[in-house]
Structure 1
Amino acid sequence: PASAPAAAEAVLGVAGLVAEGAARVGRAAAGLMGRSKAARIVLAVALAAAVVLVADGVATAGRVYGGVTVGGVDVGGMTQAEAEQAIAGAYGERLAGTRVVIFASEEACDTVDVDLQRLQEEALAEQLSVEEAQQAKQLWVTDAEALGATLPAAELAAEALAVGREDGGLGARLGAGLAGRDIPVHAAYDAAALEALGQSLDATIGEPRTDWSVAVEDGQARVVEGRAGRLVSRDALAASLDEALLRADVADAEFVAVAEDAPSRTTEAQARGTADALNAALARPLTFTYEERVYDVTREEAAAWLDVAVEEADAGAALVVTVDPARARATLVKKIHAAATGDPVAVTFLVEGGAVTVGTDGTVVIPQIDDALAVLDDALLAPARQAGAPGSQGAPDQAADALSVPVEAVTAPAALSLDDALACGLVEEVSSYTTRFTNTESTANRTHNIKLICDILNDGVVGAGGSWSFNDRAGERTAERGFLGAGAIIDNEYTDDVGGGICQVATTIFNAVYDSGLPIDKRTNHSLYIDSYPAGRDAAVSWPDLDLVWRNDTSSDILLRLTYTDDSITATLYGVDPGYAVSTQEGEWTPGKKHSTRTERDDSLAPGTSYVKTAGSDGQRYSVTRTVKAQNGEVLRQDAFYSTYAPITEVVVKGPDAPEGVAAEQPAS
């Protein structure tokens, strides 16, 4: 076996050590032999002990000591490889074959029909906002695959082998032999998957905690008071999952999630010290120099660049203050452009092979803003970060004199990468918007369609004066192009339709364009309003009739970038920011037609049970008005967006009638 050489080496090592010790005992005892009978007796006992130790060392070298178990599996006398195999044999199949149901409460555990509740949640997953779906959750179903859980058999075997050696020495070995020593079996989880489950549990059964922190508003840093919350301990969650997946000898294990007190991770002293340090830093006069011009930055402008976040480390949680480069770049670029003479720089975007290149209409000189911001960060914020460190008791002394930061000028090449163009301020983020969606087994097709349409539309370029059409850019959504059937509203009811879900992408793009102030020529609302975006600001698309169309009225190209995660979409517009100021006048909801209810029968359900397949909603109307102003305050346009939401028929699915005398179970909620 592969472990034989190692075992032999261990035996030789033990024998060598014992032999060396015996030799030393022999040399020491030689001088005593002739002195007393007692010395000869001691020597005999020592030699006998040495023989026993050599024999024991040979017998146990490279093997787990007796009395050691792993999760109840006796691994005493085994090599590490044999122990690993025994652990995997005992727990591998159990880990892979167990489903775990986690309940939100004891009441849910006692009363909720798991399969019926899952039908309910999956049916409504596409009809509710992420927040509504989260609040309604009563259970979570997971397994080893979803959690990225594996059995660390090699690690557990090594831990068993260490008992009586690195772990506790002779005392631990004797204890294992007399009373036994069990090493609890556990799984290794994917950190991101475990955290995602923990966050979902927190959102339903927990109460958010507020860390002691700092908010920066209107040029002033103020302390945010910490408040304890109730959250699910990730260690406790992992332990409960271990118990369910590995120690419960059932195919379906269950437990009730528990939220624990969660105090602030930071202290009042950290927050007050950070606020004091920031206010002292913001009180310093700040200027940037570029091409012999001096640009003043007000206290309010500099404050708007700052972010304060809690970061955890081994030493404890810290309040970390940073300069947001995108916001700082936007301010400085506007100041530099305002002072520049001549026509504004026009840029073009070229997309080839997934790479975006930014080109200019001539040789231009650009500021190295990111380098200047790094200098600013070190000079201005070091005291604040020191005050926010774990164990801090206040703000350190710091300079109060004026701070002037030089900005180097370089000649831009004819073409730059998008990252380089952003770093120097040649282009910037004009606007960005993110929406979230529920990602479950039942919404897998919808998620697929969302990602597919994002890939198709990503990095679209709209030339100066050009327009962008969702349908023209995306084309017809067909099965041949890879689109799947997913939830869509047809004739006031939810049903599957090829390409279902892409309207969320249209809504995300619409809101990014809305916030940019660019003209919007065509937009239609959905049939159903979902509270995942501002009221009246959704956009429906359907080939070939319903479309989203907007225009680029600037003198440079606009790039539309779409990115996504498993539960969110972000639409970002890049280009030369026209500096439009956007404001919104909200309307009021006006009630419309009431919804109706329809019942379907499903004989596969248990008698007397039912669930809601489609949540009913009444019709309603809403409007918002967007006002767009130029940098000089001139009103460029006022756009009224009207939304009429149709009533959605409630659909209840019922099983066979309950036997006489047995009350029917109401739809899950």
Structure 2
Amino acid sequence: MSAPLSAPVSGAMEGDHTFSGGAPVQIQVPDPPPRRRGRGTLVTVMCVLIVLALAYTLPAVYMSGAILPGTTVRGVDLGGLTVTQAAERLRERLDERSREEITVRALSVPYEIKPERAGLELDVVGTIEHAPSGFPDPIEVWRGLTGTTVLEPKITVDSARLSEAVDDLAKKIDRPVREGEIRYSGVRPRIVEPRDGAALQRAAAAELIKGAYLSEASGPVQLPVTVVRPKVAKKEFKAAAAMARAAVAAPIVLSTGVGRARLTPSVLAANLTFEPGESGGLDPVFDAKAALAAVESRLVDPAKAPVEAGYDIVNGKPKLTPGKPGLGVDADKLAAAVEKVVEEGGSRTIRVSLVEVEPRVGAAEVRKLGIKEKISEFTTQHPCCAPRVTNIHAIADILDGHLVKPGETFSLNEIVGRRDTARGFVPAPQITAGRLVNEVGGGISQFVTTMYNAVFFAGLKDVKHTPHEFYISRYPAGRESTVSFPQPDFQWQNDSGHGVLIKTSYTSTSITVSFWGTKRYDTIKAVATEPHSFTDFTRETDDKPDCIPMTGQRGFTIEVTRVFFNDGKEIRRDSPIRTVYRPETDLTCGPAPTASPKPSGGS
């Protein structure tokens, strides 16, 4: 800004600084023009900008049209390549690696998965699309000059195939939880210990497998597995086993106003299970309905008992007979009572209640069993009128009309039970430890042998039969069976796919068992070897009052094969059944003969 100055005025004398009137005069003198310093700065800035532009433009032009230098995919350098060149290099360098199996591990076990099987594939085009190319921006130029760009490979996933591969893997890894059990082997309880189960977490496993494909991580991928715990812990089974042993230590006696029956240890064991309870331990569960099948008839007045649906044979053909309700044991109350005895102990005699019950088998169920024709029949002969004949007739009456369902195993001892005088059995000879002794129910092995042959020629499955100790001539050699109570039992399985109706008939000198159902084979034959490997018998004398004499005969061995025919052609044959008979002792009852004295001779 101009500063005010005092200056002399023309016409005034030097030193006189005032006009007339005495007032001083201020004169404005302009500032000198400023220097031009900004021009140099502008030039400098322009130069810098030009340099920067050239520093970006020159490398950008060089880099344009190709993938940015320093760009890699799983170690494969794609920098400076065109998109087409980069795709070719990526395919070439990662082809083998993209087909490498993926290693996973579950429950410490390694597994290998083929990417192709799992629907995993490298998407080369999709991967290249993410690579920086074209004309780069300044940041990309800087990164291209000073650093690297690491791209993740793009993966295509066939979800259906991946899911299928995981399912296949789960089949190898998954393990069902095993609930512990108390199983009876005969009447001996055996612990089946519980075991943890395992279940692959499939959704998580699929994601991990997908992430492991072409991954740079080393080592197997750990797959998540869920451990499934059993309902009852292992520690609970020791106490349950002790309970199971006590449960079958003795029979349980059932009584009504009509009669009494025993649930034998074998029947108890067959129908008693132990299941997880609310307290975390094992509770006894008794199948009273099944257990009653063999004994209920002894507890109910036959005139008031239910009538089971079944079949009669009329004019050589099976005719359906409907069932009707009647009095029977209250199975629910019996089950609760038995379970209480098992858990708490106490008296093993139970007073059972009778209620009206429906037949166990109704007409509709029976009609579906396919009982339409005779499938086998067998008859054996015996002398008339001996006490054993009474027993043969008694067991024949009990089993006449009995139905065996498809898949069911027939057990003679479970169905008939202990032979007793209340049901018409009488003492008669039976073989025990190689001797004939009188027992109630003796002689029914003749009926069992007859039924065994009906089973044989019906083509049904023999589960358990026990030949006599020595051969009895009225039976077919190698095709006979004995029985006693509780063992040995006689068992066979109805594997025909249809029901089997048992019909029995007898005369004073014969017993016949016939089976009715649906025939599967035209003919079944028994092919037997000649007896061989004979062994000699011995002679003995017994002076006991209960001695029963025996006629001695040699022991021998024989093999019998069952052969099946349809349309006149053999279609199969069973493995030979080998029976070894011991010799029958020649037993004389009475005092042993005294030896005759030797005559004295001279010296």
TM over 0.5: no
Structure 1 length-normalised TM: 0.33
Higher relative contact order (CA 8 A, sep 6+): 1
User: Which structure features the higher share of helix residues?
Assistant: 1
Q: Name which one, 1 or 2, has greater alpha-carbon Rg.
A: 2
Structure 2 length-normalised TM: 0.36
